């Protein structure tokens, strides 16, 4: 996860975006990822574009996981 700023920066470039998105997808499932991402976002010494990209990625991860949790809860409630 030490390469997270580089990966976020790469996700902004058309020629490296797909590879960066795969890397983000892979590391986002590691324990502690959201905490590391949040620390990066709050670190004022980080480049502004990295912080903004991290913020958007955090929002997307939370939204996706929230929806998955809700669908799972609904399925459990309705079918059990």
Q: What are the tens digits of pLDDT across the range 44-79?
A: 999 999 999 999 999 999 888 887 766 676 666 665
Q: What is the mean pLDDT of residues 20-31?
A: 94
Say if residue 36 is exposed, middle or buried (CB neighbours under 10 Å; 0-12, 13-18, 19+).
middle
pLDDT above 60: residue 80: no
What confidence score (pLDDT) does residue 79 get? 58
From residue 49, alpha-carbon distances to 1, 10, 52, 71, 80 in Å are 18, 11, 5, 33, 46
What confidence score (pLDDT) does residue 2 get? 87
Q: Provide the residue ranges of all domains of the chain, joining segments of one domain with +.
A: 4-79
């Amino acid at each position: 996860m030490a390469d997270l700023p580089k990966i976020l920066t790469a996700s902004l470039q058309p020629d490296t975006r797909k590879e960066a998105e795969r890397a983000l997808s892979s590391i986002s499932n590691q324990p502690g990822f959201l905490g590391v991402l949040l620390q990066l976002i709050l670190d004022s010494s980080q480049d502004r574009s990295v912080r903004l990209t991290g913020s958007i990625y955090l929002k997307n991860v939370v939204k996706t996981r929230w929806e998955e949790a809700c669908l799972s809860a609904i399925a459990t409630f309705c079918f059990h």
